[in-house]
């Protein structure tokens, strides 16, 4: 029994000895890291504290928190460091205390945020074509500095962005919207957007890559593709005009050249597009450049844009490459300008109709010298809105200086001139024989037109617009007197002058505050038939039945 007791005692003492070797014993105080270097965005950092006595920890800065804040023995202490709000480095000293004595220090250094502009993607890919309301893309950008975004590419525009730096230098996210135009070239293209800081930091870039446009060949299939592209770009919404299920010969919007056509430009033109007529569309873009591929086009008609009065659309310079174009009709489109090379159409153009657009004046390129074959010029209803008082109508529609109006009336080759429903004011020009190349009617004119012109010859009437068969000046803001060259014009009875010439804007006021209207509007046509008695039977209204 004594041996058993002695053995148990030895085992117990040995176990106790092992327990004492496993328990940690420390002298004084220590931490396993005396320096912490934190990133600008902050984070959690661990240090191990060993101490025989009770300790507590203090931080002089509110951006540092410690957990636990006191302890004894071996403790894992977590140091929480907030994100910085500056671009500069900051420092702090953590102190471990016991009974009022400093046991140890830990130095904390936190870096500042580097000034940065960081796009989510350094390159963006876009299609060659999409619908108008889908031609944009957004790029997410993280930045901690104000910046300006710009590009030199004409087909790409950068919209304003909003960057709210409500946390100082801590990066914030913004979105940059990019609007793009369609690519008409059969080659891909690139543009670079530069993100340039307003003050601190370095610039960065975003590359935008756009797919190539369709390859349109110089043949009948190319004409078909060009029409489809124009139709899609202008977002035409007229149904059943173009159908993928039917050949081009059945498309309602066009007429093709036939071998039997007298004005066929050349044998190669057979089967190519001769006339194109598109209506009802919704576009903010310029006239599509694909029009240049319809090289044998004779007539182009475009009419009916959505919210015309709000648009600022330009006619593309490619229109001037159409060497056979005779009639150009673009109405209610929102046009505001013609290209610099528009005069290149002068050799062929016979009819120009730009009604219901947003021109403030008739472009100077449209004149007798540039367009010697033009017979019809129509510039009606170029008003953005209806205003009856010109004192408040600046820039809202077509107005003409007196010299410009005078030049139009000296254009002898014109057979139709329509200027109705604009904001033209002032008086109609008078002309003197012998000035500006104006001559009087002569016996040769009588010989050509018959003796109806005897009055004009005898009274040396200025020969103004001698070929004019349709003159429309109504619903403008004209004042003053009707000149004799108009009142006694040989074709006056063809014009419907009572409605289409004499009548001006109802209750209209010109820019000088004068009530509009002509002073000497004829009350009947008797004066005219007395001057031209041989025209009475042709034009005078006869209400006698059975004679």
pLDDT band of residue 8 (cuts 50, 70, 90) is very low
Residues 100 and 124 in one domain: no
For residues 48 and 126, membership in a common domain is answered with: no
Please report the pLDDT score of residue 541 as a whole number.
67
Helix (H) or strand (E) holding 402: helix 402-409
Is 361 a residue whose pLDDT tops 80? yes
CATH number at residue 106: 2.60.40.10
| CA dihedral of 499, 502, 503, 508, whole degrees rounded to 10 | 170
Classify the C-alpha dihedral 429-434-439-441 as positive or negative.
Answer: positive
Cis peptide before 68 (omega within 30 of 0): yes
Judged against a pLDDT cut of 60, whether residue 20 lies above it is answered with no
Residue finishing a domain among 210, 230, 253? 210
Domain boundary among 210, 226, 254: 210
- Secondary structure (H, E, C), 32-92: CCCEEEECCCCEEEEEEEEEEEEEEEECCCCCEEEECCEEEEEEEEEEEECCCCCCCCEEE
How far apart (Å, rounded) are the C-alpha atoms in residues 454 and 444? 11
Strand-pair partners of 191: 208
Q: Rounded distance, CA 540 to CA 525, Å?
A: 8
Residue range 415-473, pLDDT digits in tens: 999 999 999 999 999 999 999 999 999 988 877 766 678 899 999 999 999 999 999 99
pLDDT in tens, 81-138: 999 989 899 999 999 988 888 888 999 999 998 999 999 999 999 999 888 789 999 9
Higher pLDDT, 259 or 285: 259
Q: Looking at the structure, do residues 130 and 86 belong to the same domain, yes or no?
A: no
Q: Is residue 36 part of a domain?
A: yes
The mean-pLDDT minimum among 258-262, 362-366, 371-375, 385-389 falls in 385-389
| pLDDT average, residue stretch 474-499 | 96
pLDDT confidence of residue 24: 44
Q: What angle do CA 335, 340, 346 make, to 5 degrees?
A: 95
Q: Which residue has the tokens 């014109």?
A: 414
Q: Which helix (H) or strand (E) segment is 292 a member of?
A: none
On whether both 95 and 172 belong to a single domain, the answer is no
pLDDT tens profile 444-460: 887 776 667 889 999 99
With CA atoms as reference, report the closest residue to 332 among 363, 367, 356.
Answer: 356
pLDDT number for residue 22:
41
Whether residue 409 is contained in a domain is answered as no
* Rounded Cα–Cα distance for residues 408 and 400 (Å): 10
HSE toward the beta carbon, residue 441, CA cutoff 13 A: 27
Q: Tokens for 455?
A: 């009055």
Domain range for 49 is 29-110
- What CA–CA distance (Å, rounded) separates 481 from 46? 98
Alpha carbon distance 503, 440 (integer Å): 28
pLDDT, position 362? 97
Looking at the fold, whether 145 and 206 belong to one and the same domain comes out as yes
The pLDDT of 382-397, averaged and rounded, is 87
**Is 164 among the domain residues?**
yes
Does 545 have pLDDT greater than 60?
no
136-143: strand order across its sheet: 117-119, 136-143, 172-180, 156-158
What does the pLDDT read at residue 29?
Answer: 86
Taking CA atoms, 529 is separated from 152, 441, 471, 541, in Å, by 66, 18, 20, 12
The pLDDT score that the predictor gives to residue 359 is 96
pLDDT beyond 50 at 23: no
Whether 46 is covered by a domain: the verdict is: yes
pLDDT digits (tens, 9 = 90+) for 124-147: 999 998 887 899 999 999 999 999
pLDDT recorded at residue 27: 61
HSE-CB of 368 using CA atoms within 13 angstroms:
14
Structural tokens at position 344: 């290149």
* Amino acid 252: pLDDT: 87
Please report whether residue 96 resides in a domain: yes
**Which whole-number Å values give the CA distances from 258 to 261, 267, 502, in the listed order?**
5, 9, 45
- Across the range 239-266, mean pLDDT stands at 87
| Tens digits of residue pLDDT in 292-337 | 999 999 999 999 999 999 999 999 999 999 999 999 999 999 999 9
Confidence class of residue 496 from pLDDT cuts 50, 70 and 90?
Answer: very high
Collect all residues with Cβ–Cβ distance below 8 Å to 359 and sequence separation of at least 6.
335, 336, 337, 379, 382, 398
**b/e code 14-36 from CB counts within 10 Å (16+ = b):** eeeeeeeeeeeeeeebebeeeeb
End-to-end CA distance of the chain: 165
Task: Tell me: do 189 and 121 sit in the same domain.
Answer: yes
Phi, psi of 249 (to 5 degrees): -65, -20
d(CA 426, CA 84): 71
In this predicted structure, the answer to whether residue 11 has a pLDDT above a threshold of 70 is no
Please give the pLDDT value at position 260. Answer: 96
For the entire predicted model, the pTM comes to: 0.75
Q: Give how many domains the chain has, as a whole number.
A: 2
Contact 308, 357 (CB under 8 A): yes
**245/251 Cα distance (integer angstroms):** 10
Q: Is residue 42 part of a domain?
A: yes
- Looking at 175, 210, 245, which one is the last position of a domain? 210
Q: Is 71 among the domain residues?
A: yes
In a domain, 433, yes or no: no
Q: How many CB atoms lie within 10 A of CB 450?
A: 12
Q: What is the pLDDT of residues 198-234, one digit of tens each?
A: 988 899 999 999 999 989 999 999 999 999 999 988 9
User: Do 171 and 132 share a domain, yes or no?
Assistant: yes
**Upper half-sphere CA count for residue 208 (Cβ side, 13 Å):** 28
Backbone angles phi, psi at 526, to 5 degrees: -60, -40
Indicate if 103 and 124 belong to the same structural domain: no
pLDDT value for 25: 45
């Amino acid at each position: 029994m004594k041996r058993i007791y002695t053995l148990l005692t030895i085992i117990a003492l040995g176990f106790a000895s092992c327990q004492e070797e496993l328990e940690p014993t420390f002298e004084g105080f220590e931490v396993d890291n005396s320096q912490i270097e934190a990133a600008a965005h902050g984070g959690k950092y661990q240090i191990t504290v060993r101490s025989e006595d009770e300790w507590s920890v203090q931080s002089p800065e509110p951006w540092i928190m410690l957990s636990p804040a006191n302890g004894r023995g071996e403790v894992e202490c977590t140091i929480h460091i907030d994100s910085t709000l500056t671009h500069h480095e900051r420092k702090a000293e953590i102190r471990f205390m016991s009974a009022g004595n400093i046991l140890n220090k830990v130095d904390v250094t936190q870096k500042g945020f580097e000034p940065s502009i960081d796009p989510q993607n350094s390159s963006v890919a876009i299609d060659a074509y999409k619908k108008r309301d889908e031609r944009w893309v957004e790029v997410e950008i993280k930045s901690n500095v104000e910046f300006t975004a710009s590009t030199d590419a004409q087909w790409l525009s950068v919209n304003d962005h909003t960057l709210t730096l409500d946390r100082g230098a801590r990066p914030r996210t913004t979105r940059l919207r990019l609007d793009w135009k369609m690519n008409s070239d059969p080659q891909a293209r690139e543009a670079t957007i530069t993100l340039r800081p307003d003050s601190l930091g370095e610039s960065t870039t975003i590359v935008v890559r756009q797919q190539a446009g369709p390859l349109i060949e110089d043949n009948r299939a190319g004409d078909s593709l060009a029409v489809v592209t124009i139709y899609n770009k202008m977002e035409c919404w007229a149904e059943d005009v173009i159908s993928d299920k039917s050949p081009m010969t059945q498309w309602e919007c066009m007429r093709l050249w036939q071998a039997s056509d007298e004005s066929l430009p050349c044998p190669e033109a057979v089967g190519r597009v001769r006339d194109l007529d598109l209506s009802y569309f919704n576009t903010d873009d310029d006239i599509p450049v694909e029009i240049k591929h319809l090289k044998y086009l004779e007539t182009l008609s475009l009419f009916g844009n959505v919210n015309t009065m709000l648009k600022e659309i330009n006619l593309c310079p490619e229109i001037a490459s159409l060497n056979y174009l005779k009639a150009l009709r673009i109405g209610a489109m929102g046009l505001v300008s013609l290209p610099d090379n528009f005069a290149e159409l002068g050799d062929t153009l016979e009819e120009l109709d730009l009604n219901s657009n947003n021109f403030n004046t008739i472009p100077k390129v449209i004149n007798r010298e540039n367009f010697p074959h033009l017979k019809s010029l129509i510039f009606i209803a170029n008003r953005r809105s209806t205003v009856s008082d010109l004192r408040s109508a600046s820039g809202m529609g077509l107005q003409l200086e007196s010299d410009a109006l005078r030049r139009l009336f000296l254009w002898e080759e014109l057979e139709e001139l329509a200027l109705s429903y604009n904001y033209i004011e002032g008086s109609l020009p008078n002309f003197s024989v012998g000035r500006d190349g104006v001559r009087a009617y002569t016996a040769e004119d009588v010989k050509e037109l018959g003796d109806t012109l005897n009055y004009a010859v005898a009274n040396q009437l200025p020969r103004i617009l001698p070929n004019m068969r349709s003159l429309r000046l109504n619903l403008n803001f004209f004042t003053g007197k009707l000149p004799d060259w108009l009142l006694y014009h040989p074709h006056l009875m063809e014009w419907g002058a009572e409605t289409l010439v004499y009548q001006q804007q109802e209750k209209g006021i010109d820019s000088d505050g004068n009530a509009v209207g002509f002073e000497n509007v004829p009350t009947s046509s008797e004066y005219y038939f007395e001057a031209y008695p041989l025209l009475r039977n042709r034009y005078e209204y006869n209400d006698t039945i059975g004679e």
